[in-house]
Structure 1
């Protein structure tokens, strides 16, 4: 009986204007040729400066397509536009990067939604990033209403996060194995940036800011890797740490209780 396999989708990420970034990370002051995929939807595009298959000889030597969308942002900064493409002609790859498919010709099939750049859990990760400013304001209100109690709760949570290596170990290595390493790096960076802006606007104290930034980064990681940290009681406890479940159950004291202190 023939094995049922899914069709492979090839993606490319471009700058917001639709242009393909260089394939080489080497800096240059000379103009680097590029192609604007937005101008070629439904068309076949030839590479303007094809190099020797498949090595970086110039700053732009080939088209680099991805079969694992969670790694799309490894060489492209956010925000980015995403495209479904079809490599044509001879293709190649590099050892250790089997999710790359390199080519000198491709068809631009369509533009697709940006959340695909974060992989299978992209929608959930982007939803959290969108909600973070409001969430940070809520967390800031907790700190303002009960600084001492909130500090104790967060301190205990932070200790468990660091001891278990929930973010730096579990999330990181599961992201690597599931080809979402670039997605995780980008999501946690965006989360920290969003949290910093919201916390600064809320005039959060420095010690509270550090805890809130960690919570934002963990929450983004927990949502992104929700389906990869799930086996057994211990893994689920790691996931709860990332999601800040125990912090969500932390309730503010009654105003009259604060007045009695």
Structure 2
């Protein structure tokens, strides 16, 4: 009962502004509780929250992080990543993660298990991309209604897997893509219609990396920096 309460607490925390740095922790520990496995992941997340309760998000005002659109100060930028196949003792479903930033800090994020088993890392990244594109479409529509962007402004998305970018940019059905469910080709449609743009980014600059897998100490600290979190008492 205590463990289930802990997972529910994480879910509430993930929905508030400081939850992006523990989203993957909540995603990984919930299945463990359901299967009655030891809740070590949950305890580590709670310990982390206790030690970092002063961390917050700093929005720095109009800030352009988009090379191809130098004047787009109010255009969000998205990052998408995946962890292929998951644990050996599980369903082997991959994990998707995406995060969108504006004014130097996160405004939307998600870490979730993919609904199907991907047959390659490229496919897992492509599925993750489609999930990010759905969120990007909603964000762009909202920003258009608020008057911050126009219909001619595609929302930029960054991915660190060139194979998934190729799948999104090549409309032809190939041997490696013919089995992929139609709904995951949504990225192609939105790309062709100018709703989004996709650009490769090095793995070390992939902001969504920490939403797909546990990270070591050094990598996690960089993840915190990329998120734009800061200590509120400094």
Query: Normalization by structure 2: what TM-score?
Result: 0.29
From the CA coordinates, give the structure whose radius of gyration is larger: 1
Instruction: Identify the structure with the greater helix proportion.
Output: 1
Query: Normalization by structure 1: what TM-score?
Result: 0.27
